[in-house]
Structure formats: C-alpha cells, structure tokens
Amino acid sequence: MSAFRAASLTGVLLALATSAGAQSPPAPDSPRTDRVPVEVSTFLSVGGNDTSGTGVTARMPIVARLSFEAEAEWRLEAVSGISASGNLVLDLRKPGRVTPYVIGGAGIDRYTVGFGWPGHGTTTQLTSALSFNGGGGVRIPINARWGMRADGRISEDIGRGPTRWRVFYGVTANVGGGSD
C-alpha cells in the first residue's frame, strides 16, 4: 500500500472519529465501573522497513484507564516471521464516544536482512531483535460489542535493525461483555 493510500485512509478514520465525537455528548471523566474483560482486535498494518503485516491483539484492563495489551503480528514480506510485543495502553480523556490513547511497550521484532555477494547474487535472511515501540491512536465504538481502531507507532530495535514506523487499522470485539 502506498504512502498516499495510507495517509488517505488515516484521514478518513480521523474524520469519522471527529464526526462520531461531535454527535454524542461528552462522557464524564470518571473511572469506569463496567470493566471490559478482554478486547480483541484483528488488524492490518502498513509501514516502512518490513512493517506491513496482519495480526491480533488482546487488551485487558489493569486500572481505570490503564490496560495491558498483548500483540502478535505476521509480517507480509518475502521472508516472514511472527513478531510479538507486550504494551501498556493509557486511555486519554474522551471527547465524546472516541477514546484516544497512547501506547508503548517492548517485544521481539522479526525482520529481514538482505545480503549480496558480488558474482553470486543476493540472499534474504530472517532475524530478530528486542525492540521498543511507542505511539498513539483512537478506538471508536460502533456498539457495545464492536468497534474500529487506528494507531500509529514507531519502533526501535536494540543494537541493530532500522527504526520502523507503521499505521495500524483494526476491528475490535469486546469479549465477555461490557462496553467501552
């Protein structure tokens, strides 16, 4: 997916988020009493340096606006592997129905490295490294069970590998009841 398409899709999701927030009255900024047992998201991501992929996340609340998220992603590259991370998600003040958040965490990042030998061609190898990531996004409920999600993140590998960015689009499902 081209950078233009990714930027266009991000703009559309942000416009939807803004209109959804404008149509509903602001929610009180009090701690939640109906905790969501687990929110599961499936996603597609686009980005630079081997970061386009598909995956799943599971978010579980810790306290009022802080939750833990486990993520697994399969990179859509010539040589692919599963990357996984654990993240802390902090929900920010809700402007209506939309929930903006910041996210950060660490995990194992899988990526490809190309090697070239003069006169012998090139080869691609799958490798991994410990990485840290950070960013932010929005969750937009459609109803009590289903919603949409979009976020942007930057990740940095420890000691090797390029800095990567990605934009993530997903569908969320509240598993076990509750609403956001």
d(CA 24, CA 94): 11
Q: What is the pLDDT of residue 147?
A: 94
Q: Is the pLDDT of residue 170 over 70?
A: yes
Domain ranges of the chain: 3-25+36-175
Which stretch of 97-106, 114-123, 170-179 has the lowest confidence by average pLDDT? 114-123
- Tell me, what's the pLDDT at 92? 95
Geometric angle at alpha carbon 174, from 21 and 41, rounded to 5°: 85
Percent over 70 (pLDDT), the chain:
67
The yes-or-no verdict on residue 81 having pLDDT over 90 is no
105 — pLDDT class (breaks 50, 70, 90): very high
pLDDT recorded at residue 110: 75
Alpha carbon distance 43, 13 (integer Å)? 14
- Cβ distance 37 to 177 under 8 Å? yes
Q: What is the pLDDT of residue 34?
A: 55
**β 66-75/53-63 pair status:** antiparallel
The mean pLDDT of the chain is 78
35: pLDDT strictly greater than 80 = no
Question: Residue 14: its pLDDT value, please?
Answer: 46
Residue with tokens 């978010």: 59
Work out the percent of the chain whose per-residue pLDDT is above 90.
38
CATH assignment, 3-25+36-175? 2.40.160.20
Rounded to an integer, the average pLDDT of 12-29 is 47
pTM for the model stands at 0.70
